[in-house]
Structures are given as structure tokens and as C-alpha cells.
Amino acid sequence: MIHIPLCRRAHIPMASTLVGNDDTKMMAALALALVDNPRASLQELAKAAGISKATLYRFCRTRDELIERLLTHSMGVFSKAIDAAELDQGHPIDALRRLTGMYLEHRELTAFLIYYWRDATKDPAVAEQWDVALDAFFLRGQREGAFRVDIPAAALTEVWGSVVIGIADAERRGRVARLGISALIENAFLRGVAL
């Protein structure tokens, strides 16, 4: 059995520093507003996001344009998060913590991509880059003895992504508390649910 140092916490850089523009909070609020009310008008989305209708219209003129901008923004944020997690540096468990922390920092965008993933994968190049990076990371972790080798690296990528997405969505819906969510994901992924 592999010993997993759950008590050791790596420094997790804040992914919000990756975006660095004033639109970040507005994008997150609009993403969540679309998830919570997918049939809302632009005026209703503006109100839910806490901005004026005029501000939203200056930002984008149609729902389709809003969705496209949010897709581009979300894909960019998560691409930068993967790069910033430095998956090829340090112990794989520490790198996994950094990556999970960055994904959780952008819960609203995660929720948005859950519901609009079909639109995001019209051009699968970015998602394929994520798969390549994460597969390589999990393979490195297997070679270094941090992750089990009886599950292919690609499957570990899919399982980790499913756990993060599922728990983040459950937290958004109020089924899982926000406090301790990172440790919950880590334990569920690394140790599973068997006794």
C-alpha cells in the first residue's frame, strides 16, 4: 500500500492571479447565472450577476455571444491553471493539490463547463491538450510510486476530473459543504471509498 502524505500541504498558487483582469468576477457571476437559469434573458442574467443591463450589452449583445465568450474564458483559465500547477515539479501529490485547488477556485467556470461542455468541444484541441498534460502527469506519478499502476494514466485523468466536477457541482447544489472540499476530493480520489 502506498503511503499518501495527506497532512502535508503544498503551497497552492491562486488561479485568480492567472487571469488578472477586471472581468474575472463578472465572468464567474455570469457563468453561474447561466447555469442556475439557462433560459434567462440577458437582462435577467445581468441582474443575477449584479451588473447593469447596459454593462452586459457592452460586454456582449446576444446569449450566443455570451456563451462563446464564457467558453473561451473558461477554457483559457483552466489551461493556465494546468500550466501554473507545475505538474512536472515536486512530489506528484503536491502537484495534484495545486491543480485541484486551482480548479476549485474557479467553481463557477467548472459548473458552466459541465452544462456547456458540448459547445466547448466543438473544437476539441484545448481539451485534448488538457488530456495530454494530465495523462503525462499521472504517468509520472505512477513511475514515482505516488499513484497506483493497475489503472491506466488516462483512466486516472478521467477519474480525477469526474471527482472534481462531481464534488464541485454537489457543493454548488448544497449537497456538500465548501469547507474541506479539497481534502474530500483528495481522499475520494486517492483512497476511494473502500475501507
Q: What is the pLDDT of residues 125-146, one digit of tens each?
A: 888 999 999 999 999 999 999 9
Any domain includes 37? yes
Task: Name the residue range of residue 171's domain.
Answer: 16-191
Any domain includes 137? yes
Q: What is the pLDDT of residues 32-87, one digit of tens each?
A: 999 999 999 999 999 999 999 999 999 899 988 999 999 989 989 999 999 999 99
Cβ neighbours, 10 Å, residue 159: 15
Any domain includes 22? yes
Any domain includes 10? no
- What the block records as the C-alpha cell of 32 is 453561474
Contact 172, 179 (CB under 8 A): no
CATH number at residue 42: 1.10.357.10
E strands present in 30-126: none
Contact 94, 8 (CB under 8 A): yes
Question: Measuring CA to CA, how many Å separate 55 from each of 63, 95, 96, 162?
Answer: 14, 38, 38, 35
Give the percent of the chain with pLDDT over 70.
85
Q: Tally the domains of the chain.
A: 1
Any domain includes 5? no
State the Cα–Cα distance between residues 169 and 108, nearest whole angstrom.
9
What is the gyration radius of the CA atoms in the chain, in angstroms? 18
* 174 band by pLDDT with thresholds 50, 70 and 90: very high
Please count the CA atoms within 13 angstroms of the CA of 58 that sit on its side-chain side.
7
Least confident among 6-20, 24-38, 41-55, 150-164: 6-20
Any domain includes 3? no
Taking CA 193 as the corner, what is the angle to CA 189 and CA 195, rounded to the nearest 5 degrees? 130
Cell 514515482, located at residue = 144
Any domain includes 11? no
Question: Measuring CA to CA, how many Å separate 192 from each of 43, 122, 189, 195?
Answer: 44, 33, 6, 9
Any domain includes 57? yes
What pLDDT, on the 0 to 100 scale, is given for residue 116? 83
